[in-house]
Amino acid sequence: MKNIKFLKICNDFGMNCLRNSPLINIHKWKIWNGLVQLAMLLSISAALNMVFFYCTKMFWELYAFTPMGQQFFGMYPAASFAISDFLDLDVMMFSMEIVVSTFVFCLFISILLKLCYVLRYFYLPRQLLGRLILFGVPLAAMLAGQIQEYYGLEYWNIAFAAALFPTLILFSGCFKFSHEQIPEIGNIIRDVLHIVIKIFDFFKDQSHGK
């Protein structure tokens, strides 16, 4: 009897309708598959960023011993020492911090843009080059300001160079995840109103039944 009564309440409450709601039915978003892809992207990006940072460090050390490098050090001593101090940071720790920060920032921005319909009208219609110009580079520029402040870098250009590579790798994956898994604000409002209406209808029917 209890099971029959529970099923009747669920039907009266409109559970069949709620199951079709993207706000409720998480498994239809294939969110777990998206999270696995993000985890793989984050791991690959961290490894690539370590290799990139290490190669840059080696190239700078070799460049410093060339005649052109010596001339650059003589003409721009402050910038040269700033770059050297920056490249003296721990490769593994710095790369992980930059990649994780970039990932969180890009994912947060992509969710906001999806909620506000920006992804639909400004990101999705564009090809790779347009996406890089309109979203990738500005995201790296914004992130560079945070990196400069956090690490106390004297030059914004150095922070931008550090942020650009991981941003260009990560932002498209984060935007793809938000596009596929996050509903737009209009859908959320619609589903919330749908649930509220069902709740009112349920209690209204219960009161009339008495």
Q: pLDDT of the chain along its 210 residues, tens only?
A: 444 444 444 454 444 554 555 444 444 556 788 888 999 999 999 999 999 999 999 999 999 999 999 999 999 999 999 999 999 999 899 999 999 999 999 999 999 999 999 999 999 999 999 999 999 999 999 999 999 999 999 999 999 999 999 999 999 999 999 999 999 999 999 988 988 888 887 777 777 665
pLDDT at 163: 96
CA 44 to CA 40: how far, in whole Å? 6
Instruction: Quote the tokens at residue 54.
Output: 């290490």
| Residue whose C-alpha is closest to residue 205's, from 18, 5, 12, 3 | 12
Identify the helix (H) or strand (E) that includes residue 187: helix 185-209
CA 94 to CA 65: how far, in whole Å? 25
pLDDT at 34: 86
Alpha helices per DSSP H over 88-155: 91-115, 118, 128-131, 137-151
pLDDT at 204: 75
pLDDT at 208: 67
pLDDT at 6: 44
| Residue whose C-alpha is closest to residue 103's, from 53, 52, 166 | 166
Report how far apart, in Å, the C-alpha atoms of 53 and of each of 149, 153, 164, 167, 188 are. 20, 16, 12, 14, 42
* Contact present, 170 and 103 (Cβ < 8 Å): yes
pLDDT at 5: 46
Instruction: Quote the tokens at residue 55.
Output: 């190669």
pLDDT at 50: 95
Instruction: Quote the tokens at residue 177.
Output: 């995840």
* Contact present, 173 and 41 (Cβ < 8 Å): yes
* Contact present, 144 and 156 (Cβ < 8 Å): yes
